[in-house]
Amino acid sequence: MYHDWFLNSLDNSDKEIYDVLINELNRGRRGLEMIASENYVSKAVLEAMGSVLTNKYSEGYPGKRYYGGNEYIDVAEQLAISRAKKLFGADFVNVQSHSGSSANMETYFALIEIGDPILSMSLDHGGHLTHGHKVNFSGHFYKINSYGVEKETGRIDMNKVEMIAKETNPKLIMAGFSAYSRELDFKHFKEIADSVDAFLVSDIAHIAGLVAAKVHPDPVPYSDVVTTTTHKTLRGPRGAIIMGKEEYEASINKAVFPGMQGGPLDHIIAAKAVSFKEALQPDFIEYAKSIKVNAKALAESLIENGATLVSGGTDNHLILLDISKYNMGGKIAERTLDEVGIFTNKNMIPFDTRTPFDPSGIRIGTPALTTRGLGKSEMKTIGEFIVKTLDNYQDKNVLQEIKQGVNELCDQFPLYPGFTALH
């Protein structure tokens, strides 16, 4: 009902953007969303995002604002903070970061000086741009040393991390990734950080929902600061939070505002609060468990059908498919999978010999499809679809047949069933 009201207004004022929304909804309905960092928020989260709270300015923090009229904004931000603290068991939470990149920048600004050494996972082994890539602010502002995965196992060797830390004396160690399908040993990371007197920052953007549901080892007790986006496995609005030990609260808050950001996005903060309440419910634990069960089932199916997976499988929500045996790069693989209605992204694999624009990997995840209600048996079918698509990427007839299968699967699991296009 809410959505119809929203679309009614938009339909009358801006037909072009109205069409974008309808087309995007229909694109989602017709395909299988398997981008590991994407998800579908609840209608309640959408409502909070598309609300009057977007109108307000509220620089500062609850009870200490630079503008008047923030009595209700304060309630929303305080709820977001207290719910996130409960969810993650953190001493403090700052809920104002606009994105994962801002959260990481704010954390570096709070903890270390420009030019200081950082140790982080390299992007081509599964890290993230903001962990120190040379094209990113982090690579410009800090001296970056990297750890990666082993060629034979596709896994991080913590003894190597320790060795590199001892050699390079980082001021900050970053534990986190955007394309690694195994669990991180945060306790060991903390021991290494302590041994070289470095801060341990854990970027749990990908696994936050799994951590919140306690189906992944918990970084919070071991990390000085933890950053996360809120829109991946955590299934909240697009944005981020920073949390950590009490002694860093003041410097993190200062780095966020006034250090990096101006007015907070109050509609997004309210939506964060809504999603944290959802993540505190028992059914979220079931959801997080199912993400992992589905990822394992998908990995098994891919392997049974002849695919090669980096590290040979998964312990979390994502799978990195090594497509180097095919006579094509990730660009064509991603496009062909798109054509049959399976949405993934091309991704570097460790020791990749190709470029980031056309790498040797495809990254796949199960958070969105698990939200949509798909289970183990569907994962088995999707594994078959994916391998068959890659094996037959030049055969239009086979691709058409797979597309038909994808459509049938999509019809069984309606996406946002209450939302109706008005024309």
Phi/psi at 147 (nearest 5 deg)? -115, 165
By C-beta, is 128 or 372 nearer to ligand DSN? 128
Catalytic residue among 232, 346, 388, 403: 232
Name the DSSP letter for residue 36. Answer: T
How far is 195 from 106, CA to CA, in rounded Å?
25
Phi/psi at 283 (nearest 5 deg)? -70, -15
Is position 178 an interface residue for ligand DSN (rule: CB under 6 A)?
Answer: yes
By C-beta, is 181 or 253 nearer to ligand DSN? 181
How far is 394 from 176, CA to CA, in rounded Å?
37
Is position 227 an interface residue for ligand DSN (rule: CB under 6 A)?
Answer: no
16 given a catalytic annotation: no
Q: Which residues contact 8 (CB under 8 A, 6 or more apart)?
A: 422
Residue nearest to ligand DSN (CB): 37
Length of the chain: 423
By C-beta, is 136 or 253 nearer to ligand DSN? 136
229 given a catalytic annotation: yes
Catalytic residue among 229, 233, 344, 371: 229
224 given a catalytic annotation: no
Binding mask 110-149 for ligand DSN (x = CB under 6 A): ------------------x---------------------
| Residues in 62-121 that interact with ligand DSN by CB under 6 A | 100
Q: Which amino acid is at 361?
A: G
238 given a catalytic annotation: yes
For ligand DSN, how many residues bind (rule: CB under 6 A)?
4
Is position 223 an interface residue for ligand DSN (rule: CB under 6 A)?
Answer: no
**Shortest spacing between CB 367 and ligand DSN, in angstroms:** 11
Burial 214-235 (b: 16+ CB within 10 A, else e): ebbbbbbebbbbbbbbbbbbbb
Q: Which residues contact 380 (CB under 8 A, 6 or more apart)?
A: 297, 298, 300, 301
Please give the C-alpha separations between residue 394 and each of 243, 304, 335, 402, in angstroms, as whole numbers.
Answer: 48, 22, 12, 13
232 given a catalytic annotation: yes
Chain-centroid distance, C-alpha 321: 18
Contact between 37 and 318 (Cβ < 8 Å): no
By C-beta, is 38 or 74 nearer to ligand DSN? 38
By C-beta, is 133 or 190 nearer to ligand DSN? 133
116 given a catalytic annotation: no
Catalytic residue among 4, 38, 47, 59: 59
Binding mask 33-52 for ligand DSN (x = CB under 6 A): ----x---------------
User: Site residues (CB under 6 A) for ligand DSN?
Assistant: 37, 100, 128, 178
The set of catalytic residues is 57, 59, 203, 229, 232, 238
